[in-house]
């Protein structure tokens, strides 16, 4: 029987007072605004500021979300790496659109990003793969991500076998592993404010690839 009642969860509240987000204080370019906030998140020393929710959906619109680490951002988009055969990879193959969410509770900030998804080049993926710790490289070879496996021992035995096989030679990047780039067409910056009257500024890409921004009601 569940021991946490409805009243307990309904009474969980936090009044946000640390900062504001006003039109005159932001960049016209959303990537510069993202860089500013991301730099501030890094300086704040919060745990894994590059952790983001990646939401995908099937062609029928069934959503799926999980936490992934951002590994690169430029004006080309936001890059993360995964197994192409994973659930998210299968979704992206059939429906190449995704949403990203960063939530930095200590800063009372959230960023929402929506856009189309493309694979980065195999050369870029290979270069990043070989920059990873050896244990992470072996992990990519070991795990048939999102597939059913019999037990934990299956992974441990496979890892032990691969560790022995590649003890003195380079580990090749698996063909099923690499990077995706989310190319945004909408980026929203949310700053918590008192009385739930939060600041929300959204950048929307125009047909000529320029950006406009507007305020949304909280």
Active site residues: 196
Query: How many CA atoms, within 13 angstroms, populate the side-chain half-sphere of residue 196?
Result: 1
**Alpha-carbon span 182 to 54, nearest angstrom:** 10
Is the Cβ–Cβ distance between 41 and 104 less than 8 Å?
yes
What six digits make up the tokens of 64? 């799926």
Is the Cβ–Cβ distance between 178 and 196 less than 8 Å?
no
Is the Cβ–Cβ distance between 112 and 190 less than 8 Å?
yes
58: Cβ–Cβ under 8 A, 6 or more apart, which residues? 64, 91, 94, 95
């Amino acid at each position: 029987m569940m021991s946490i009642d409805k009243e307990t969860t309904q009474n969980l509240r936090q009044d946000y007072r640390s900062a504001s987000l006003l039109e005159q204080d932001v960049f016209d370019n959303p990537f510069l605004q993202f860089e500013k906030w991301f730099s501030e998140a890094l300086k704040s020393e919060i745990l894994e500021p590059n952790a983001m929710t990646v939401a995908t959906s099937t062609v029928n619109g069934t959503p799926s979300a999980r936490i992934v680490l951002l590994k690169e951002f430029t004006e080309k988009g936001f890059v993360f790496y995964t197994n192409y055969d994973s659930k998210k990879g299968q979704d992206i193959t059939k429906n190449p659109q995704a949403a990203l969410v960063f939530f930095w509770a200590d800063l009372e900030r959230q960023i929402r990003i929506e856009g189309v998804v493309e694979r980065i080049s195999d050369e870029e993926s290979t270069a990043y793969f070989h920059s990873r710790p050896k244990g992470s490289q072996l992990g990519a070879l070991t795990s048939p991500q999102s597939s059913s496996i019999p037990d934990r021992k299956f992974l441990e035995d496979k890892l032990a076998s691969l560790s022995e096989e590649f003890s003195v030679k380079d580990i090749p990047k698996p063909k099923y592993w690499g990077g995706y780039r989310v190319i945004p067409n909408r980026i929203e910056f949310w700053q918590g404010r008192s009385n739930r009257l939060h600041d929300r500024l959204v950048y929307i890409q125009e047909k000529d690839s320029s950006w406009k921004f507007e305020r949304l009601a909280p």
